[in-house]
Amino acid sequence: MQPIELTTPLALLGLLLLIPIIILYLIKPKPRHIRFPSIMFILGVERSKRFRSFFKRFIRDPLLIIQILIITLLVFAISEPFFIVREEENVKENSVIIIDSSASMQSTDITPSRFSRAKEIAKELIGKMNEESLISIVIAENIPILLSKNLNKEDAKYSVENALPSDSPSNIGDAILFSRDILPKSGINKRIYVLSDLSPGSGTDIMLTQRLASRENISVNFVKINGDGGNIGIVDINAKRFITNRYKFYLTFTVRNFYDEDKEVVADIFMDNESLISMKKDIAANSEKLFDYEGSISEDPHCITVKLRNEDFLSADDIALAFLPGVKKHKVLLVTDDESDLYLRYALESSRDIDLRIAVPPLIPKFDEFDVVILGELKPEFILPGTFRDLRFYAENNGNIIFLASSDLCNFENKNLDELIPVELDSLRTEWEEIHVQLDHEILIDVVPKGSKRFPNIITKKHIKCKEKNESVVIATTGNSPAIAYQKYGNGKVAFIGINPNANWSNFYYSSSFPIFWLQLINWITREEPTIGINNFKTGDYLPVVGGMEIKTPSGKRLNATNLILDEIGFYDISYGDRIDKIAVSLSNEKESDISNSLQIEAIGDENFTIKKEMFDVRKDIFPYILILVLFFFFIEAFYYRRRGML
């Protein structure tokens, strides 16, 4: 402790007031003495002791001493005495607390869960902050969610208390970048606190985001919440009807054992909440096994559920779901020459979902009797006038048309054809070309491997040189020309398929994916709008929502959002007026299921974390304590006056 200092040392001049007080005290009138003969003998003695008695009286009179002390203390208080000490103190800060709400944070290897522990730490952290700090709360799901911004301590605690975990994967990197952006650009003491199990997730690299934040003088502190528990989980699921027999389905799912010891796994399979079968397999330590099942199914839509019986520390991946849409029969008209497009005929006739009819020009039935009209190999001389005009009217009224590349397609000179087709035709080219994917689309599922940018082992020998129209969408190209394109026309769709399956055009007919492509194309082009084309998702995926859709989540919430993040495991109901579609959402994420794994970055354990304090010179004023002492002496003075009978 440093010596006592005075803010106003000139105030000590007030001590001069003591001089007149002492003088007045000494010259105040004395009591009058009446002399009696019996005491005359002591008068001489009194004269000799008068001088000494004066000083004794001065010292022994308590009221005078008390008054001197009161005045001295008051003057000392007015001078504002203080001393300086070194103390730790929480400084005012702008801070963001990121709470990881991903699926792995539901693990119960920390009681009651990792997420609950993160909320406790967040509230403790807020409680230790400076009273003037501004606090924002960010929830880290697959995308960051701003729960609250620039709150005081009390409101920030309330906001944390209302935070809920999700079933989505983690994305801490993007949450740090988002938090950096909501902090003020200027100022000091900007901090981000990350409360997470630090499981490997998606998004931007965490170490990179920490460096980017530090460039803007933002301190990023990681608090690791991890109990190193074990887990067994479903990391992948797939269920579909067979293309060749829509009344049979197959189900595959992968179960991984994350323990360091072998485990026996029991999986129960349900269809529409009714048990189908129980399957049992032994899975070695830190490995996985594929389960598969085939069964019969009706044409109605069905919900598939897989549940694991094993007890572990994470329940979110003990269940996986799949939805199988109902079977719809499509009426398809193929307009072609008598002996042409044979491979396409065989592919369409092989599907029980398609009611195919062949029409050979010039005899063509009314188009409005069919869901799809496919125009194959055609000769201009056999097409009656008004055919393309009728096709245009058909498309305007919910009809769907597919133009297949053919030898004479470029030779038609018809304004209705030019308006309908989604490309501008040029000429026929004889060149060997690969087919390149330009857009991921549902008609390419199981045709092109996921992530690939070309059709595997498919070569075109001929193609039509063309270019897309302004409003058309190109899915694939060959030789820099659209190979698969479509556009909306009226209330219908019109597609151009430049990959002709005839042997002199390509080897597509030889591929096992050829009938799959055409069935998926028919299913897509006939689907009413708006409708969800894909029915099985993973948590964290986006669901594009168009106007008029109402969504019911597995927890029962009803939403009308424009884009929905699927952060709950379960079945979602999608309503479009009177129609209801359904989607299934599962975790199926190996990184989230591996709850014992965490990123190797510098972090503080949840039991050791304390908010950083800084040393400051703190001024300690003595003024309040002096006033308390003055009041104490005032009471003593009043006591003496009362005792002497002067009050």
| pLDDT tens digits, 314-341 | 999 999 999 999 888 899 999 998 888 9
The full length of the chain comes to 647
**Is the pLDDT confidence value at 60 over 70?**
no
How far is residue 468's CA from residue 419's CA, in Å, rounded to a whole number? 12
528 within 8 A of 474, measured Cβ to Cβ: no
* Residue 413 vs residue 438, higher pLDDT: 438
Q: Which of 67-81, 447-461, 496-510, 557-571 has the lowest mean pLDDT?
A: 67-81
Q: What angle do CA 486, 514, 358 make, to 5 degrees?
A: 75
639's enclosing H/E stretch is helix 623-643
Q: Are 360 and 337 in contact (CB under 8 A)?
A: yes
The architecture of the domain spanning 232-326 is Sandwich (2.60)
Mutual orientation of helices 62-78 and 623-643 as an angle, nearest 10°? 160
pLDDT single digits (tens) 77-87: 788 787 777 65
Sheet with 454-468: strands ordered across: 354-359, 330-335, 372-375, 400-404, 492-497, 481-489, 473-478, 423-437, 454-468
Distance of CA 289 to the CA centre of its chain: 30
pLDDT tens sequence across 149-187:
999 999 999 999 999 999 999 999 999 999 999 998 887
**Nearest alpha carbon to residue 606 among 223, 235, 230, 267:** 223
The residue written with tokens 């938090």 in the block is 179
Residue 58 banded pLDDT, cuts 50, 70, 90? low
> With bands split at pLDDT 50, 70 and 90, how would you rate the model's confidence at 613?
low
- pLDDT at position 51: 45
Q: CATH number of the domain at 330-525, out of 3.40.190.10, 3.40.50.880, 1.10.1200.10, 3.40.1500.10? A: 3.40.50.880
Percent of the chain with pLDDT over 90: 60
Show the CA angle centred on residue 263, arms to residues 257 and 267, nearest 5°.
Answer: 80
Contact 413, 403 (CB under 8 A): no
CB 164 within 8 A of CB 68: no
Span(s) in the chain for CATH 2.60.40.10: 232-326
- Encode pLDDT of 120-143 as tens digits: 999 999 998 888 899 999 999 999
Measured between alpha carbons, how far is 444 from 400 in angstroms, rounded to an integer? 19
Class of domain 91-228+597-612: alpha beta
Most confident of 125-139, 257-271, 600-614: 257-271
Torsion of CA 143, 149, 153, 155, to 10 degrees: -90
H helices present in 292-337, as ranges: none
Sign of CA dihedral 198, 201, 205, 210: negative
- Residue 41: pLDDT band by 50, 70, 90 thresholds? very low
The tens digit of pLDDT for each residue in 107-122 reads 999 989 999 999 999 9
- Side by side, the strands of the sheet bearing 5-6 are 5-6, 81-89, 614-621
Which regions of the chain carry the CATH code 3.40.50.410?
91-228+597-612
Under a CB-based contact definition with an 8 Å cutoff, are residues 71 and 21 in contact? yes
- The tens digit of pLDDT for each residue in 274-298 reads 999 999 999 999 999 999 999 999 9
DSSP 563-605: EEE--S-EEEEEEETTEEEEEEEE---HHHH-TT----S--EE
